């Protein structure tokens, strides 16, 4: 079982990224980061690897594993959508509708929070068509559509699928504990922004889970739910996020990589050799996340994998600081990638 840090998430945080303007460090983002090897041992860390976090949407691939275990069956593009925080592009909305239709349901079955698409052009087109915030365009609609479809497949009630004691949510909690290796007695519960139950994980447990996820996907004849989710995400990164998003861009750079961001500065990734990465930015900012992700993946060896595009990976992590509309600095990761540590 994973040893947790009992104090709050601010305890023991270290610097993960700096904001540099005109050669001067203007701001610093603190947080926690861990890289584990294929055996689950810590090989690099900043802050506290065992800190307990709300994983937010980074947990969606693990939720998708639980849904397959419960009887859900989707083709790869729709399975990737089930693990997504999508842009709300037309393909994402159509995919969520397809998941629902396959279960004999419509958008009225969804219980997530209504919202406009994250992708600005898609949001504009949606509004110009006379629509407002909707459950089907909210970024979690793929997950929620898959949840109600799972209930239909398993013979469970659909109306109450967001209740913490619903069989689906119990299945998800059990799967998270299995994949992370966290002590079940430490797992807390709350409600995520979309309305679904959310369970804590340790940061190291999240990294280990993603390492297992990615490693399973590299075995061609592995038909387990873990392998199926991994292969779906790696094959269809555009369904996991969408245009301009770091999840999609990073998975395009590294064959077999699975990565998923979450709100409040959380991110997790797994490499096909079983290496896992997870980090939490203390202030919850998204600004530093691409730089930290790219640096962590490099430290984990992603750029050396067969077929990896190292230059494109660096581009994923490039976030300029602007002055008068022109670059005058950058957000740069400051994790010491040379440092090996023990948990």
Q: Dump pLDDT digits (tens) for 118-146.
A: 999 999 999 999 999 999 999 999 999 99
What number is the average pLDDT over the span 239-244? 98
As a whole number of angstroms, the distance between CA 73 and CA 182 comes to: 27
pLDDT of residue 251 exceeding 60:
yes
3-class DSSP state for residue 109? helix
pLDDT of residue 7: 47
What topology does CATH give the domain 14-74+163-333? Beta-lactamase (3.40.710)
pLDDT of residue 90 exceeding 90:
yes
What number is the average pLDDT over the span 1-8? 51
pLDDT digits (tens, 9 = 90+) for 37-70: 999 999 999 999 999 999 999 999 999 999 999 9
Instruction: Indicate the pairing of strand 189-191 with strand 197-199.
Output: antiparallel
As a whole number of angstroms, the distance between CA 15 and CA 31 comes to: 6
pLDDT digits (tens, 9 = 90+) for 48-57: 999 999 999 9
As a whole number of angstroms, the distance between CA 151 and CA 145 comes to: 10
Confidence tier at 221 by pLDDT (50, 70, 90): confident
Confidence tier at 224 by pLDDT (50, 70, 90): very high
pLDDT above 70 covers a percentage of the chain that reads 95
Looking from the CA of 335 toward its CB, the CA atoms found within 13 Å total 34
Closest CA to 16 of 276, 291, 250, 297: 291
Confidence tier at 11 by pLDDT (50, 70, 90): confident
Q: Where are the domains of the chain?
A: 14-74+163-333
pTM here is 0.94
Spatial contact of 195 and 111, defined as CB atoms under 8 Å apart: yes
Closest CA to 148 of 258, 90, 140, 133: 140
As a whole number of angstroms, the distance between CA 141 and CA 128 comes to: 21
As a whole number of angstroms, the distance between CA 141 and CA 244 comes to: 19
Q: How is residue 314 written in tokens? A: 């660096």
Higher pLDDT: 149 or 219? It is 149
Q: Mean pLDDT for the chain? A: 94
As a whole number of angstroms, the distance between CA 343 and CA 341 comes to: 7
3-class DSSP state for residue 148? helix
pLDDT of residue 336: 64
Higher pLDDT: 213 or 338? It is 213
pLDDT of residue 338: 45
pLDDT of residue 163 exceeding 50:
yes
Residue given tokens 């904001």 in the structure block = 19
pLDDT of residue 195 exceeding 70:
yes
Confidence tier at 342 by pLDDT (50, 70, 90): very low
pLDDT digits (tens, 9 = 90+) for 287-300: 999 999 999 999 99
As a whole number of angstroms, the distance between CA 25 and CA 84 comes to: 34
pLDDT of residue 335: 77
B/e letters for 98-122, b = 16+ CB within 10 Å, e = fewer, are: ebbebbebebebbbbbebbbbbeeb
How far, CA to CA in Å, does 113 sit from each of 105, 136, 139, 273, 324?
18, 9, 9, 37, 37
As a whole number of angstroms, the distance between CA 122 and CA 105 comes to: 24
pLDDT of residue 6: 44
Confidence tier at 217 by pLDDT (50, 70, 90): very high
């Amino acid at each position: 079982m994973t040893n947790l840090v009992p104090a709050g998430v601010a305890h023991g945080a270290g610097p993960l990224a700096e904001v540099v303007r005109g050669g001067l460090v203007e701001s610093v983002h603190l947080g926690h980061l861990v890289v584990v090897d294929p055996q689950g041992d810590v090989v690099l860390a900043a802050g506290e690897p065992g800190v307990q976090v709300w994983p937010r949407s980074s947990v969606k691939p693990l939720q998708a594993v639980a849904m397959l275990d419960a009887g859900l069956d989707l083709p790869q593009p729709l399975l990737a959508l089930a693990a997504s925080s999508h842009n709300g592009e037309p393909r994402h909305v159509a995919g969520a509708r397809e998941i629902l239709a396959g279960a004999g349901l419509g958008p009225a079955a969804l219980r997530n929070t209504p919202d406009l698409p994250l992708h600005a052009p898609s949001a504009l087109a949606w509004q110009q068509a006379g629509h407002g915030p909707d459950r089907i365009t909210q970024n979690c609609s793929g997950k929620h559509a898959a949840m109600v479809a799972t209930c239909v497949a398993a013979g469970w009630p659909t109306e109450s699928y967001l209740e913490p004691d619903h069989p689906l949510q119990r299945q998800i909690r059990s799967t998270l504990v299995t994949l992370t290796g966290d002590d079940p007695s430490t797992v807390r519960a709350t409600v995520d922004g979309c309305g679904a139950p959310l369970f804590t994980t340790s940061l190291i447990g999240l990294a280990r889970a993603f390492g297992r996820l990615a490693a399973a996907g590299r075995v061609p004849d592995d038909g387990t739910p873990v392998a199926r989710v991994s292969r779906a995400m790696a094959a269809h990164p555009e369904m996991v996020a969408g245009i301009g998003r770091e999840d999609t861009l990073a998975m395009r750079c590294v064959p077999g990589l699975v990565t998923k961001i979450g709100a409040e500065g959380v991110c997790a990734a797994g490499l096909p050799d079983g290496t896992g990465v997870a980090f939490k930015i203390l202030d919850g900012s998204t600004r530093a996340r691409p730089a930290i992700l790219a640096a962590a993946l490099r430290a984990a060896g992603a750029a050396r994998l067969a077929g990896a595009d190292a230059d494109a990976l660096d581009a994923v992590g490039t976030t300029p600081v602007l002055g008068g509309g022109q670059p005058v600095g950058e957000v740069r990761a400051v994790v010491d990638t040379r440092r090996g540590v023990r948990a």
